[in-house]
Structure 1
């Protein structure tokens, strides 16, 4: 246990502003600890965690099996670098290929941005000898903040201040198969898609659109890269969201919920796409870290053994039914326990502030949308509690901008 003197919320915020860069602004809640689906701030206030570290805390906070796996691995071996190998990274890569239901190979890294960065390099290396230098992505997509991943991110407000990138990218409307077909040609190295766009407010693609994307890329010799960084690992009630469309992508990128909170990312190359990189083409000092791999294997084990897919699918339906026909809720998008709750005439930031004051953490992902992505271990009682508090808050919520 730490013998450091406790700090208040105010003290932590003051020191944060003085010591850290301003790219996040000032986060509202200094979290000190967590247990299950609840977290506690530095002043002792307890919150129902309905955002789960942005779809990261897959098995909740402090799950005994998860804690034991991390502690045991830290005691045995914390780091090897990529100069050496260890059993955990091999077992995790094998398991990921089993879960994606395809043969291939895996590159392990530290984040979703890095997973997509590796995917960009991979498809450009494969395509360049054939004049395939263009990447097609979608408007309002989010693939990361590094320059390569940002180059294919379809949110102009965060992309354009850092252009140019040295990556040729073309953006088409999400969900529009005709626009996608028109953009993909002999110069296209790959199409990057999220099966559900998370940062745009949780907008899922239809299975027909994903099947069309697979057909279009195959007919044109381009790779289909699916960014499952938020949608993967049970968030939609399956290991991967694309399984609902019964398609096999060429590359899959993962992160977030994969290791339940320990930084990790993965790029899966299916079939021949697993053999594109050769020695020296890419690397990561911390990628495949023993602790991160142990955490990921523990998360997979908990999800499998505790039947969490069945839980989140049932609770997703329960949440939808609970919020149905509420006058302040325009729609509940998404599936299972990854949802965008559209608001009528209320500002999402003000609503989330009011929720936090009532002991609930959620994310105002857009001015008219609240995003939730709680731990998959959440209970029906907690889902009902969230819905009750949200409906109560919405009955007195401040009006927001016109969201037409």
Structure 2
């Protein structure tokens, strides 16, 4: 048995009352079948590792889908959550808490937002995108009496599964069971600057309320927008009064080695968006999201009574986010993410494995592009060897591990890839 997982002491435990099999059976009788059967039932974690109910250990290279930026059971994060919950838990949005206010201030600071900017706190990325969609609807007054009714998004986009966020998500399999969805959304080819320009041409630019973009599309296979695309999107939206809304739910809060992915010059080119949405890694594993509105115009689109949330910005979630930001700063994790990600991508590419076509990404959001549609098979083999990864497309493995991952730990997965059969996926 490799270092990646540990054998249970008692083989009979594999079928016992606390086994993965037992819990999986109970899962099937108690939870809706929206996710399918769980791959494992996990019972604890520490750092970049998790353990299942049978005692096997796994190196978590998915981090709860880019959520557990500090790993599992980080002492500073757990202490902050415990201390806050022991003092003040939930208070409703009729009141404010120091942690809520401090978090909003910290987010505006790391985003380098100008005077007049404001934050709306949510519970998830979907909710953040839902609020941003409503902000786009409020940006309806065009010049000369024109109405801004069009919202532009990209093919391959994933912005969430609530009705508004789903309307911005391009995948037909997600959309079609729930149509009709909120209207007015048009999907443009990914990274096609000419198509973007055409959507604003022929006098139609003043009818665009917003452009929704992910600087790096995660669900589609970790696809960065080409250099210059965000700059051109900023030029067109500014010229026509449309909002530039960046979904940084997956890429934000240090995942790419910068606080926000668009802050990388080669991705954002120095642009300043109107709205940024955040979640996932913001709370280090505790549910929390945010909408950042840059400048007074964007910050005043939603007035009193026009949006709300019961749990958003609660003291515990805010304390978790503050602690997460604090640890990232204290431990120099932005630099670590940058350095480790660059080294790891290079190490995987240097394998020269015939199954690996490309390695791309930014920081610790990485895609291993395969030469055959065998990502599910690779992910299954990885799980059997003690690695949690994600086959986000039929031919793409996504890696989004905790920021506390070490080079030595990352190298064990590189070794796993090196040992994959060269003919995997080749039919006789």
**TM bucket, shorter chain:** over 0.9
Residue in 2 aligned with 1:191? Answer: 211
Residue in 1 aligned with 2:132? Answer: 119
Deviation at 1:83, TM superposition (A): 1.4
* Residue 248 (1) aligns with residue 268 (2): no
Deviation at 1:123, TM superposition (A): 1.5
Partners of 2:141 and 2:378 in 1: CA distance: 48
Partners of 2:166 and 2:291 in 1: CA distance: 17
* Residue 207 (1) aligns with residue 233 (2): no
Residue in 1 aligned with 2:386? Answer: 359
Residue in 1 aligned with 2:4? Answer: none
Give the TM-score normalised by the residue count of structure 2.
0.90
* Residue 30 (1) aligns with residue 41 (2): yes
Q: C-alpha deviations, 1:172-227, integer Å up to 9, x for none?
A: 01111111111131111000000000000000012311111111111111000000
2:368 pairs with 326, 341, 351, which one? 341
Deviation at 1:395, TM superposition (A): 2.0
How do 1:5-404 and structure 2 match up within 5 A?
7-103=18-114, 104-127=117-140, 130-184=146-200, 185-244=205-264, 245=268, 246-271=270-295, 272-324=297-349, 325-345=352-372, 347-392=374-419, 394-395=420-421, 398-399=424-425
Q: Which SS does the other structure have where 2:182 is aligned? A: coil
Partners of 1:228 and 1:367 in 2: CA distance: 24
Deviation at 1:128, TM superposition (A): 5.0
Pair 384,238 (structure 1): closer, same or farther in 2 beyond 3 Å: same
Partners of 2:172 and 2:361 in 1: CA distance: 24
Asked if structure 2 preserves the Cα contact closer than 8 Å seen for 1:194 and 1:228, the reply is yes
Deviation at 1:306, TM superposition (A): 0.4
Partners of 1:254 and 1:233 in 2: CA distance: 8
Which structure: larger Rg? 2
Partners of 2:372 and 2:190 in 1: CA distance: 25
Partners of 1:100 and 1:207 in 2: CA distance: 20
Cα RMSD of the aligned pairs, angstroms, is 1.4
Deviation at 1:6, TM superposition (A): 6.6
Paired positions, count: 396
Q: Which SS does the other structure have where 1:179 is aligned? A: helix
Partners of 2:276 and 2:373 in 1: CA distance: 37
Deviation at 1:304, TM superposition (A): 0.4
Asked if structure 1 preserves the Cα contact closer than 8 Å seen for 2:353 and 2:422, the reply is no
Deviation at 1:110, TM superposition (A): 0.5
Partners of 2:229 and 2:304 in 1: CA distance: 36
Partners of 1:137 and 1:274 in 2: CA distance: 22
Asked if structure 1 preserves the Cα contact closer than 8 Å seen for 2:345 and 2:366, the reply is no
Give the TM-score normalised by the residue count of structure 1.
0.95
